[in-house]
Amino acid sequence: MLGKLSGWDDTIVALATPNGVGAIGVIRLSGPKTIEIVNQLFPSKDLSKQTSHTIHVGFLKDGDKVLDEVVVSLFKNPKSYTGEDVIEISCHGSPFIQEQVINTIVKYGARLAKPGEFTQRAFLKGKLDLTQAEAVADLIASNTEASQKTALHNIRGGFSTVLKELREQLITFSALIELELDFSQEDVEFADRTKFYELIHRSQKVTTDLLQSFQLGNVIKNGVSVAIVGKPNAGKSTLLNTLLNENRAIVSEIAGTTRDTIEEVININGILFRLIDTAGIRKSTDAIEVIGVEKSMEKMQQADLVLYLFDVNTESKADLETALLQVQEQNKSYLLIGNKVDVLGEDAAQQKYPGDGVFFIAAKSNKHIDVLKERLVDKVVQGTIQTESTIVTNARHYTALQEVEKSLNDIKAGLDNQLPGDLLALDIRRCLHFLGEITGEITNEDRLDYIFSKFCIGK
């Protein structure tokens, strides 16, 4: 596969640190001519004679022209990130200097790297499997402790280990079943069907657990969209400001102040919540407010979780029931939040709305806000986040696992119906195919290019 990939023998270069002015910029090279190219620009030492994993200081020159004083980090193959010769040049963080250095390296025989090409080479050289490579991108994009830990777990091979164990056991049984086909005239069984049943049962359990983890994985990776809805003056903007601990939304006693949606992000216990403060839902003759209400309904439909906020001092029990039906029609997960309980009193509020599953707060005085945050997390993760266990966060993996589940069900049905070995072998091969797609043991160049194109350049 390696030889067929276009550009595989090229030496590539890219800026590995973000664009812009900084203290330093790191320029990364990888490929067969890496040391040869940098040697022509770095007269201080002959890098081909230096030990791998060493650092060297000196001037980078294009002929007599000094480009910069740099630190060169040398990683010789195969003990490098890509499995090839790799050099990282730490230069000063001027965009002009970085551009000069890269242009000079290109002039001496390298080409600019494509997005994710360094990690793609690491995969093709067997340094990482595809799930680990994709976890690299997840780690770069992680913005909470939970997403960081999940990505690190997968980079260390947590997900891969589970899949490889499953795949190896299926391969063993597939080989025994296919061996039976070679002795079909002898009417012998090499594969113990009882043990095969046990394997399929364990495999189904593992696959089901992985599929079920995707809901949590999606929350950890992408966060949760939360629409704060309710009537005008229920305190939606006050609640947003209190949760954010800043005055993000305008708060007024005048009903209908919020005319458009306001969106902000808050990190609660490692989960990102995208809070959406919507316009108050009511009938209005004001054209602008009508548009705001329409947007509120649209955001409620798009949200993962709806917080219906109401004023316990003004909302009747009948009005609350009507509003609750409206929220339930959206088929969304929701929380009923009774606000301004500090005015009515918590005991009176509980007597007014008995058994309605209402959680009472006072957003203005910060009453029960910490408990509300806990309820938000519990609502979306439904338990403790165990980021050291294997959690599926990638939609591609989820889709392939669904096919694995179907294949395992077909294998079990075949065993139940005592299908002949050749038909069982077809279902096992199909299952192995989709397991291999996840780890990259079965793939093609177009699929790889698509996967790695979503990486940043220089990684």
23, 25, 27, 140, 451 from 17: Cα distances, Å: 11, 6, 8, 12, 21
Q: Are 200 and 411 in contact (CB under 8 A)?
A: yes
Whether the full predicted model's pTM is greater than 0.85, yes or no, is no
Amino acid 146: pLDDT: 73
The predicted structure's pLDDT at residue 147: 76
Cα 421 to Cα 404: distance, rounded to the nearest angstrom: 19
275, 244 in Cβ contact below 8 A?
yes
Which pLDDT score, from 0 to 100, does residue 2 have? Answer: 44
pLDDT per residue as tens, the chain (459 positions): 444 455 678 999 999 998 888 889 999 999 999 999 999 999 999 999 999 999 999 999 999 999 999 999 999 999 999 999 999 999 999 999 999 999 999 999 999 999 889 998 998 898 888 888 888 877 877 777 777 777 787 777 778 888 888 888 888 777 777 665 655 555 555 556 677 788 888 888 988 988 888 878 877 777 888 888 888 888 888 888 888 886 554 443 444 444 456 788 888 887 888 888 775 554 444 444 444 445 656 666 777 888 888 888 988 888 888 878 877 877 778 888 889 988 888 888 888 887 768 889 998 899 999 998 888 888 877 655 555 567 888 888 899 999 999 999 998 888 888 777 778 788 888 998 888 888 887 666 766 776 777 778 777
Contact 250, 238 (CB under 8 A): no
Q: Are 258 and 292 in contact (CB under 8 A)?
A: yes
